[in-house]
Structure 1
Amino acid sequence: MAARRRLIALCLLLAAGFAALGVWQIERRAWKLDLIARVDARVHAAPQAPPPPAAWKADMTYSRVRVEGRFLHDRETLVQAVTDLGPGWWVLTPLRTTRGTILINRGYVPAERRDPGSRAQAQKTGNVTVIGLLRESEPKGGFLRSNNPAAGRWYSRDVAAIAQARDLHDVAPYFIDADATANPGGYPVGGLTVIRFRNSHLVYALTWFALCGLCIAGARIAWRSGEA
């Protein structure tokens, strides 16, 4: 009798836990859908001026912005990339503006275009206008690989580390992914920002609720066995 009661109590305790996890996943799903809607609105909004460094917040990520300035091509940084166009490099170039310096991810280049001389047409001098999406810095490195500034090996777009390595000052804490506006000569290729949010919360919720149901069924069977 005592063993049966403990089994019933355990089943009901597990059922309550699984139900709580299911409710949590439903709440997470609502949050994720709201995030997707907010980001979609930002991406399709008219471009605005980027925020000053002191006003930057992570929830501004993917805001569409417009900025004007002068590229410092001699301080560009190549960051390894895997894109829909294949493996290659992101070209991050500092843009000197009247409000400081902003790193611009001008886009993708394949290995044969790594040398700036192979894309000299795109090394514009003078003032330029860049439209793109605000992105958060990617500190330290990529998956299982750390940035090595001394060796010039970059696996993530770490704004602070790149600024230090290139002796840049007054640098914004974010970078901008340039849009698909074509560069002279075709490279770098912009507009390759991937905006994808994993949303499997409904599947997880149904899984937790199913386990909750199984535990309740187990408690019911144990209860009935004592009545037999």
Structure 2
Amino acid sequence: MGRAARIALIVGAALASLGFLALTCWQVQRLSWKLDLIERVEARLKAEPVAPPAVSTEVTKADEYRRLRLRGQFEPREVLVQATTELGGGYWVIAPLRLDDGRTVLVNRGFVPPEQRAPELHAAPAGTVELTGLLRLSEPGGGPLRQNMPAEGRWYSRDVAGIAAQLALTGPVAPFFVDESADAAQPRRWPRPGLTVLRFTNNHAVYAATWLALAAMAAVAAGYLVREERRRSPSH
């Protein structure tokens, strides 16, 4: 191997070490962000439920999973969104709840298996209801590789604006939806609420350790190549 090739290997190993070190720093930053997210979500889940934000209020990631308290009447219409849960495949039942102040909030009443999809098998309660749930952000577009097709009644994501248009809702509609909390009085009811997934994958520490190990290995390789190059040099 010529000297130019050996120098190229040294430079490549050094650059690889720096690249792996940069990835280590990035994963450490991601770890800090993930731990902060978990802490914030856990704090929201323990907080007392509050009234929903005004329709005009901008809702961001910082508001997701806040516990809300809703009071109103369900309208006799719904949309089924395809879902896969710990209970298997089926649908989320999304229904509009007209609040006492005239606003409408889309509520994910819970999950139903295919054999329970008929509206008469999971009808919303009549009259005024009170419920609590978690604020969730709209999911526009559809699912992975599958676009929502409202004209065909196929929904793969909980797209608030799209569902509101499909249901022809009038008046102010909240730009978010609410996952209804579990019903302790009816633990086996359909739709089955309380299935919101709140587990956050946190492998950033493992990734950081892996990148750091690779950075160290590349640095050792670069050091070895430098030592060998110096040994080969005529001046030594």
What TM-score does the superposition give when structure 1 sets the normalisation length?
0.93
Distance 2:225 2:180 in 1: 63
Residue of structure 2 equivalent to 1:92: 94
Which piece of structure 1 moves more, 7-16 or 130-139? 7-16
Residue of structure 1 equivalent to 2:46: 44
Describe the SS at the equivalent of 2:201.
Answer: coil
Distance 1:59 1:99 in 2: 26
For 1:4, give the aligned amino acid. Answer: R
* Correspondent of 2:206 among 203, 208, 225: 203
Distance 1:111 1:220 in 2: 63
Distance 1:80 1:183 in 2: 23
Distance 2:119 2:68 in 1: 26
* Correspondent of 1:16 among 15, 18, 25: 18
What TM-score does the superposition give when structure 2 sets the normalisation length?
0.90
Residue of structure 2 equivalent to 1:7: 9
CA RMSD of aligned residues (A): 1.7
Which piece of structure 1 moves more, 143-152 or 184-193? 184-193
Residue of structure 2 equivalent to 1:186: 189
Residue of structure 1 equivalent to 2:61: 58
Distance 2:187 2:223 in 1: 72
Describe the SS at the equivalent of 2:65.
Answer: coil
Cα offsets for 1:182-226 (capped at 9, x unmatched): 559821111110112121111111121111111111111111212
Residue of structure 1 equivalent to 2:176: 174
Distance 2:61 2:48 in 1: 20
Distance 1:99 1:197 in 2: 36
Which piece of structure 1 moves more, 143-152 or 180-189? 180-189
State the 4+ residue runs in structure 1 displaced beyond 6 angstroms: none
**Rg: which structure is higher?**
2
Cα offsets for 1:66-87 (capped at 9, x unmatched): 01111002x2111111111121
Residue of structure 1 equivalent to 2:234: none
Describe the SS at the equivalent of 2:9.
Answer: helix
Distance 2:41 2:230 in 1: 57
For 1:114, give the aligned amino acid. Answer: R
Describe the SS at the equivalent of 1:54.
Answer: coil
> Is the contact between residue 49 and residue 69 of structure 2 (CA under 8 Å) also seen in structure 1?
yes
Q: 1:28, CA displacement in angstroms?
A: 0.8
Describe the SS at the equivalent of 1:53.
Answer: coil
Residue of structure 2 equivalent to 1:71: 74
Residue of structure 2 equivalent to 1:217: 220
Distance 2:15 2:157 in 1: 45
Distance 2:133 2:16 in 1: 49
Q: 1:90, CA displacement in angstroms?
A: 0.8
Residue of structure 1 equivalent to 2:145: 144
For 2:211, give the aligned amino acid. Answer: W
Q: Percent of aligned positions with the same letter in both sequences?
A: 50
Aligned length: 225
Asked whether 1:114 is paired with 2:117, we answer: yes
Q: 1:10, CA displacement in angstroms?
A: 2.3
* Correspondent of 2:106 among 93, 99, 103: 103
Q: 1:2, CA displacement in angstroms?
A: 4.0
